[in-house]
Structure 1
C-alpha cells in the first residue's frame, strides 16, 4: 500500500477515489503504541495529533511539551518497527483555548509560543483554532477576528518552519466542536451552513493575503466543519449523508481542500466510510480510543479480582474513583447532581472524562499492579467469557495484559482504517 501524504487527500477526492486519514488524538502511551503497531502492520500513514490542552510549551495536563511528545512517539515507533517516514505529527486546536480566561493579547502570546514549540519539534500539520473568545469576549468569535488571529499564529509557524525546514500544512475553520465531545445529551446536530463554510474560506484567504502569507494559504489543506456528528456523555449522533449534501458541494468550488471532521468517535465503520466518501478525509478520534482502553482495563480489573488471591475487589476502579473525587475539575462541568448518575458518568461517559487521570502516579501504580497480577497467568475460558468475551481466544495460554490493551484499541483503529481505505 502506498502511504498517503496530507497533500494527496484533495487530489484523490477530485479524482473520484476518495481516501482518508485517521487522526489519532491521544497522548496515552498504549494508544500511541496501538496506532504505531497498526501502522507498521498495514504499511499505512500514522497521523498522531496532540491537543493544546494535552501538550503545550508549558506541559499541558500530560506534563509534556511538544518536543517531549514527539520523542515519546518516535521512541515507541522504534520499538514497533514503524519508520519515521510513516509518521505525521499534528497539533490540534492550537490557539488561545488553554488561556482563554485571560485577556486576548495575553492568551495569544501564549498561543504563539505554543505554536512555535510545536513546529520546532517537527509537527507538520497545524490546526489553527482561534475561534474561542478570551476574557471579556463572546464565547465564539466571528470569522474576521478568528481569521486575523489564525493568520497571526500561522506567521509564527512560518517563521519557525523556515529555520527547521518544515513547511506546515494548515487546517482552518471557525465552526469547531469543543475538544472531547459535548457535555450534555444531544438530539441532533445540524451540519455547517454551506454559505458559512464558503465565507470562512474566503475570509481566511483574504487575511492570509493581507498578511503577505498567500504561499502559506496554499498549504491550507482542510477546513473544519460540522458534518452533523457528535457525541455526549451518553449518546451518539450518527452521520446522515443526506443532511450534509449541500455542505459537501462546497468542496466542488475548493479543489485544494478537504473537510476535517472532529468528534467522529463511536460512529462505527459504515458512517465513517460515508464521511470519507463525501470528502471528510481527516477523521479525528480520541475519547473512543481511551474509552475502549478503560473498558479493557476495567475488565482485567474484574478478572484479577476473581482470579488472584489478595488482589482485592476492583482496586483499579476504586483508585480511579478516589482520584476523580479528589480532583473533580475534569468532570464537574458534566455533573448532574445525582450521585448514581455522576458515578456512571465519571467512569463510563462517552466523553471519557477519566482519561485526564491516567497520568497521575497513583493511577499508574494501580495499572502496574494490575498488569503484574495477571501477567503470565492462565485465565480460565469461563472467566474470559464473563468479563472479556472478545478475548476468549486467549484462554489456555499465559496472559500478557499489555498486549490485551493494545489489541482492544487496535480494534477501533482497524474500523477507522477500513473506512479510510475503501
Structure 2
C-alpha cells in the first residue's frame, strides 16, 4: 500500500487510485503492537482509534485520557521501530454516549470537553457521533438535531486544535445502524443504508456546519458512516454482499468529497473486505476481531502450558477469566442470554468478544503474566502448535513465526489483520 494523507483519501479514489485503510479500534497493547508491526511490514500508515468509552477526559474504562493514549501508542511504536510520521490517531463515536443518562446540555458539555481533549492531544481523525438521545429524549434523534450537535462538537475540536498548535483534524460524520461492538441478537439479514439517507446525512451536516460558521471544518470531512450490510453477533457473521449495496455505493458519485466508513467489519472474509474497498467503503473498522484472535492464542497457550508446564492445583488462564467474569458481570450480563454451559461459552467464545473488557483488569493481567511466565522463552514443539494453535502451524513450520509464547500471540493477531492488508493494497 502507498502511504497517503487521510485527508486525500477521497481525492485519490476519484483519481482512480485503489485506496483503503484499516481502522484499528483497540486499546490492548498486544493488539496495538501487532497492528503497528503489520503496518510496518506493509509500508502503510497505521490508523489507531480510541472510542469515547475507552478514552476520555475522565479516563474511560482504560483509565487513559487522550494524551495518555497518545503516549501509550507512541511508546509501542518507538519500541517496535514504527515511523511516527505514519501513525494516525483517531477518536471513534465522539459524542455524549458516555453521559447519555444526563440531561442533554450536561452530556454535550462533557462531550465538548472530551473532543477538545482529543483534538489538543493531536488526534487527527475525529468521528462525530451525536445520534443518541440523552435523559428525557428519544433513543434516536432527528437528523437536524444530530447534525447541529455534531457541528457544536466540531467547533470545540477546531478551537482546541488551534489553541494547542495542532493541525486541524479531518472528520467523519454519521453513525452505523447496529450497536457498536456487534449486535446482541441472532442475525439473518441487515438493512443496507438507503442512498437517500446517506445523501441526507451529508446535506444536513453541511447546513449545520455552515450555520455555525464551520465551512472550513466541513471541507475536511472525509468519511460518512453507513451500514453496507455487514455485522456480527455472538455466533453469526453477515458477509458483505456487493449487489445489495450497489445503490448505496453509487451515491459516492454524488458526494465526491467523501468515502464511506464501514463499522463492524470484524470476521469478514478476505474477499468481502476487498469488495468493500472496491466499492468505496475505504475505511474498515476492526477491533473485537483482533482481541478475539488474541484470546484464541492465549487459550491455546493455556493448553500448551498444561502439557509443558503443569501448574498443579493453580488455576489456568481460562479458569481465572471465568472466575473474574462471573464475579464482575457488568461487561457481559446485558449482552448474553441463556444459562449454564451455553452462557459460559458466550462469555469466552462469542464473536462479540465482551471478554475484551476484562483483559486490563489486574486479575486478568496477573493470570496472563502467570501463563507467560510458565512458558517463558522456551520453544514450543510444532506438534503442540498444530494441536492447540493450528492457524499458526504453517508459519512456525516455515520459519516465519518464532515458536515462543509471546511471538505466537502477536502472530495470531497479525493473521487476523492480514486480510485487511490485502483488501487495502493496490
TM over 0.5: yes
3-state DSSP of counterpart to 1:280? coil
395, 404, 414: which is aligned to 1:410?
A: 414
Residue in 2 aligned with 1:207?
208
Does structure 1 conserve the Cα–Cα contact (< 8 Å) formed by 2:381 and 2:403? no
Residue in 2 aligned with 1:67?
67
Two-structure CA RMSD over aligned residues (Å): 1.6
Does structure 2 conserve the Cα–Cα contact (< 8 Å) formed by 1:174 and 1:200? no
3-state DSSP of counterpart to 1:242? coil
Residue in 1 aligned with 2:131?
131
Say whether residues 1:52 and 2:52 are aligned partners.
yes
Residue in 2 aligned with 1:104?
104
Change (3 A) 1:314 1:12: farther
Say whether residues 1:285 and 2:289 are aligned partners.
no
CA distance in 2, matches of 1:48, 1:20: 14
Structure 2: stretches of 5+ with no match in the other structure: none
Residue in 1 aligned with 2:147?
147
1:192 Cα offset (Å): 0.3
Does structure 1 conserve the Cα–Cα contact (< 8 Å) formed by 2:33 and 2:80? yes
Does structure 2 conserve the Cα–Cα contact (< 8 Å) formed by 1:176 and 1:226? yes
1:270-299 per-position Cα deviation (integer Å, ceiling 9, x unaligned): 000000000000000000000000000000
Does structure 1 conserve the Cα–Cα contact (< 8 Å) formed by 2:97 and 2:130? yes
Change (3 A) 1:154 1:347: same
Point out the more displaced range, 162-171 or 146-155: 162-171
CA distance in 2, matches of 1:68, 1:28: 14
Residue in 2 aligned with 1:76?
76
Change (3 A) 1:303 1:71: same
1:16 Cα offset (Å): 2.5
Does structure 1 conserve the Cα–Cα contact (< 8 Å) formed by 2:402 and 2:408? no
1:130 Cα offset (Å): 0.3
The TM-score with structure 2 as length reference comes to 0.96
Residue in 1 aligned with 2:88?
88
CA distance in 1, matches of 2:373, 2:392: 19
3-state DSSP of counterpart to 1:182? coil
Residue in 2 aligned with 1:170?
171
CA distance in 2, matches of 1:335, 1:38: 33
CA distance in 2, matches of 1:175, 1:410: 26
Say whether residues 1:2 and 2:13 are aligned partners.
no
1:314 Cα offset (Å): 5.8
Residue in 2 aligned with 1:318?
319
Does structure 2 conserve the Cα–Cα contact (< 8 Å) formed by 1:311 and 1:373? no
Q: How does 1:4-403 map to 2 (within 5 A)?
A: 4-163=4-163, 164-310=165-311, 315-392=316-393, 394=396, 399-403=403-407
Change (3 A) 1:10 1:298: same
Report how many residues are paired.
422
